Chains A and B, each alone.
Chain A
Amino acid sequence: MASPYTGVRVLDLTNGTGMYAGKFLAGLGMDIIKAEPVKTGCPERGYAPFFHGEQSVENSLFFAYHNTGKKSVALDLDCKEGRELLGRLIASVDVLLDSHPAGWLEDKGFSFNHMQVLNPGLIYGSLTAFGLHGPYRSWAASSELMANAAGGQMFEIGLPNRAPLQFGFNLVSNICCLYLAFGVQAALRRRRLTGEGAEVDISMQTCVAAWRCTPYGAYQRDNSTLPTRVGPTAPFRPSGVYRCSDGMVIMNPLNWGNMIDWMKETGHDVKQYDTPKYLEGPPGHNRNFWNESDEINRFIESFTVKFRAAELMEEAQRRKIPAGAIQKCGDMLTDRHLEERAYFQAVEHPVHGIYRYPGAPFKMSGSPYVANLRAPILGEHTQEVLFGIGVTPAQFAEYKAKGVI
């Protein structure tokens, strides 16, 4: 079975913000060529933690995860010959991915206009905090924190009278990489039909601003209500975060009758809550649950504390009560459901050995996502890639002697 994009070549110049996009597209069969500095490799190779606790250019976990399925070309982009080679690489690929701030590539002599001369069909995919063309395009943004803040999402996350909270964990960057990958795929289709290249300009601020729907509606409707931080905000009741004997669950017992039956079966005192006042009306629409939210949540918690979180989730779900245990990463690694779906994939790497990595993000029956590939050794594919764009063995040796590659 083949992949959807076999034969599509991508030059990946991203930093840590945009690296997930190339990894994702490698899974769909694109040939991702990562260009990185000679000797040290890209800065992300220095990101802790490291396999076996030992820092080396091959041992960064961040690098190993975000570069699976890519090829590595070691190339000095700060010298004249290196830039000539970069120009030849740009001319040879279908897609260029970048996530450095606006102007970074231009400073190296490669404006979009110039790149289009080198390669009229080029798809230039860019992911930046604020976009390539708006007034904040040259703002410094060393962290995804800035897009979290200026996208508006952050203002609502957190507890009352406490600081707004970011998502963190490179999560916003990686989610925005999905928008970049989507834009690149769409641009490739357009090129197939029209022959035209394109610029794909993903602004993390714009994406973040689109993940928060209700506030815009509330603001435009009532003009005054500026939602602020209220902790958990599920738009239905009863709903909440409940303590268990060993952790917590998020649960929405909208179908109250099921919840009451369960409590009665286990001999839990259901108090006054087994009455028409709470049982009538369609699930989720009984106002009493809003009016008495705190008391009812305390009542629910008096029941949940008797269970382990995983046990509570399973039994609640069996009874058609939506519930999810607040899991740790370690819980997911041993999750039997994910195991049954063969989600984690063993990936073998010549330096660090075999470890389980998160696998395919979806299962395609005809052209499966390839999820068992590893990250490249620094410069592993320099020769293969440069010979492929017409560099001769003699030239190759000369570049190598000069330290260009």
Chain B
Amino acid sequence: MKPLEGIHILDLGWVVAGPHATRVLSDLGASVIRFETAKHPDTLRPDMPRKGVTDIAQEGGWQFQEQNRNKLNINVNVKTPGGRRIFEALLKKSDIVCCNQAPRSFRKLGLDYEGLKAIKPDIIVANASGLGDYGKHSGYATYGPILNAICGISGLISYENEASFGYDCVIADYVGGLSLANALLAALEYRDRTGEGQFVDLAQCEQFISCFGELLLEREVTGVDPLPVGNHDYARRMAPHNVYQCRGIDRWVSIACGDDAEWSRLAMCIGQPWAMDSKYATLAGRLENQARLDAEIGRWARSRSPIEITYLLQSAHVSAAPVLNTEETLEDMNLLANKAFQRVEFAPSERKPDSLQVTGLLTPITGAELHVQAPASVLGGDTSFVLRQVLGMADAEIAQAETDGAFSG
């Protein structure tokens, strides 16, 4: 049995954080119905479409596939009377309503917990906004990059003793999504024990800060703000701890030594006189001479390939790994063995490619073999199935819902 079989989720989220939460839940067996409207399709749909795909409602590009495979998709506008009727009918059959909108948009969708609870008493409602459901800045517009700045990550990720260059990737969205998935499972456990639902107010920034909370505690205790460390160990527990340029163009290998014994094995592998210098024998000595140590290892690495170095060092049980680029990641034998990638197959057509690789099961659990059932649906692709098969609506009811605006906007 799949771990989350039998759990029904209504997903009114968009882009990454919310859809990533429902994606990892659906990977483990939960059933997800994703709401989307033609007027405001998911921002990710047009991103990186397959060659020849121009109509964004037609399928959705790579990013959208990544976060929305295995989900049903209905083009129901919950802000209309007809759409609201459909939403409420589905609500009565669901365990979770999941969203990642700014608080004001969340309320405009009519998802207030007390209101939904009146219809489905044990419903679990969650909204993962950037800065939370209340508070001075809860109205802020926050994309991942903005959150990185506010949470302090942009200021911490840079080269040693250099100013921030504005690191802005979407990592905050994944952290928020995973946190949301955790909160939802905890709420489900609580509901199964007590019969009670609840509201989860998730501020993505608060989970993110918690993931490096040690630094906040350090600032609180010492009064000193941590600075960027480049690729060194922020806690100065390890040296060397860096990436080194190798033979070829933009090729790099990572090397770290957790203790003096690991360093002495590395020194043996390098086998050059400088590595035997006693000043490098202790952590204190290696930290004191870190710049020179990095330069020496760098010179040694420059004429070798990342793979050659990795195998040489790993055979002596020294921590090393190549810095993989995209192509190498897709072919890495350990990622492949761990089924880190799965294929979504499209219906046969003239378009090529007719399948795409997306990432696989991130939380492998006994009994949870993941099979990507289907690519993400086209916008509204499952509306008819959901209305007729899940809700048992007759033609006349569907027509009335349409008259009441259900499929507009």
A300 sits at the interface (CB 8 A): no
Which residues of chain B come closer than 8 Å to A205, judged between CB atoms? 334-335, 338, 340
Interface presence of B1 (CB below 8 A): yes
Q: Complex Cα distance A211/B157, Å? A: 16
* Bound-state Cα–Cα, A6 to B140, Å: 36
Size of the A side of the interface (Cβ < 8 Å), in residues, is: 143
- Distance (whole angstroms) from the CB of B169 to the closest CB of chain A: 6
Chain A residues lying within 8 Å of B63, measured Cβ to Cβ, are: 213-214, 217
Contact of B166 among A133, A206, A241, A355 (CB under 8 A): A241
Contact with A along B327-362 (1 / 0, CB 8 A): 111101111011010000000000001001111101
Does B284 reach chain A (CB closer than 8 Å)? no
Per-position 1/0 for A237-277, Cβ under 8 A of B: 00111000000111010000000000000000000000000
Asked, given contacts A5-B186, A199-B366, whether A332 binds B4 with beta carbons under 8 Å apart, the answer is no
Q: How many Å lie between the Cα of A268 and that of B316 in the bound state?
A: 63
> Which residue, of A24, A159, A182, A322, has the highest number of chain B Cβ atoms within 10 A?
A182
For A231, the chain B residues whose CB sits under 8 A away are 165-166
Is residue A10 within 8 Å, beta carbon to beta carbon, of the partner chain? no
**A135 near B333: Cβ-Cβ < 8 Å:** yes
Contact (Cβ within 8 A) A152 B165: no
- B233 A143 Cβ-Cβ under 8 A: yes
Report Cα–Cα, A357/B220, bound state, in Å. Answer: 8
| B12 CB–A CB distance under 8 Å | no
- B168 → chain A closest CB, angstroms: 5
Given known contacts A143-B256, A152-B325, A174 and B363 CB-to-CB distance under 8 angstroms: no
In the assembled complex, A336 has its CB within 8 A of some CB on chain B: yes
Mark out the residues of chain A between 122 and 136 whose CB falls within 8 Å of any chain B CB in the assembled complex: 130-131, 133-136
Q: Which A304-351 residues have a C-beta within 8 angstroms of B?
A: 313, 317, 320-333, 336-338, 340-341, 343-344
- Flag if B320 contacts A155 (CB, 8 Å): no
Q: Is A142 an interface residue (CB 8 A)?
A: yes
**Which residues of chain B have C-beta atoms less than 8 A from A5's C-beta?**
186, 189
CA distance A168 to B153 in the complex (A): 10
- A81 is an interface residue with CB less than 8 A from chain B: no
CB-CB under 8 A from A249, the residues of chain B are 149
Is A175 on the interface with B (CB-CB < 8 A)?
A: yes
Comparing A44-52, A91-99, A376-384, A393-401, the segment that makes contact with chain B is A44-52
Across the interface, do A66 and B214 meet the contact criterion of CB distance under 8 Å? yes
Q: Contacts A249-B149, A365-B200 known; A217 to B61 CB distance under 8 Å?
A: yes
> With an 8 A cutoff between CB atoms, is A146 at the interface?
yes
Q: What's the nearest-Cβ distance from chain B to residue A29, in Å?
A: 8
Q: Are B146 and A252 in contact (CB under 8 A)?
A: yes
Chain B contacts for A197, CB-based, 8 A:
366
Identify the closest chain B residue to A356 (Cβ).
B220
Q: Is B87 an interface residue (CB 8 A)?
A: no
Q: Are the C-beta atoms of B252 and A355 separated by less than 8 Å? A: no
Contact between chains at B324 and A216 (CB < 8 Å):
no
Q: Which of B154, B169, B174 has the most CB of A within 10 A?
A: B169
Contact stretch, chosen from B238-246, B387-395, B397-405 = B238-246
Nearest-neighbor residue (CB-CB) of A221 within chain B: B48
With A167-B157, A226-B325 as contacts: A234 and B168 at CB distance below 8 Å: yes
Asked if A281 is at the interface of the complex by the 8 Å CB criterion, the answer is no
Flag if B338 contacts A325 (CB, 8 Å).
no
A178 and B47 in contact, given A140-B317, A366-B187 (Cβ under 8 angstroms): no
Known contacts A165-B157, A220-B62; is-contact A134 B338 (Cβ 8 Å): yes
B76, CB-defined interface residue at 8 Å: no
* Residue contact B323 to A165, C-beta cutoff 8 Å: no
Q: Is A190 an interface residue (CB 8 A)?
A: yes
Q: State in angstroms the CA–CA spacing of A52 and B233 once bound together.
A: 22
Residue from A49, A145, A190, A214 whose CB has the most chain B CB atoms within 10 Å: A145
Interface residues of B in 132-182 (CB under 8 A from A): 132-143, 145-159, 163-171, 174-175, 178-182
> Do A332 and B209 touch (CB < 8 A)?
yes
Q: Contact between A332 and B178 (Cβ–Cβ < 8 Å)? A: no
Question: B334, A150: Cβ atoms under 8 Å?
Answer: yes
Q: B210 near A: Cβ within 8 Å?
A: yes
Task: Report chain A residues within 8 Å CB of B229.
Answer: 168-169
Minimal beta-carbon separation of A245 from chain B (angstroms): 15
Q: Does B276 contact A (CB under 8 A)?
A: no
Contact B364 A186 (CB under 8 A): no
B318 within 8 A of partner (CB): yes
Cβ contact within 8 Å between A145 and B241:
yes
Query: Which chain A residues in 85-136 approach chain B with CB under 8 Å?
Result: 130-131, 133-136
* Separation of A185 and B368 alpha carbons in the complex (Å): 13
B384 CB–A CB distance under 8 Å? no
Stretch at the interface among B77-85, B190-198, B372-380: B190-198
B225 lies within 8 A of A141 (CB): no
Q: In the bound complex, do residue A200 and residue B364 qualify as a contact, i.e. CB atoms below 8 Å apart? A: yes
**B186 (CB) vs chain A CBs: closest residue:** A4
Whether A69 is near chain B, meaning CB under 8 Å from some CB there, is: no
Top 7 A-B pairs, shortest CB-CB distance: A217-B62, A241-B166, A142-B258, A366-B198, A217-B48, A324-B149, A358-B213
A sample of 7 more A-B contacts (CB under 8 A), given A190-B3, A217-B47, A252-B143, is A149-B253, A150-B334, A210-B174, A328-B152, A329-B219, A336-B136, A358-B210
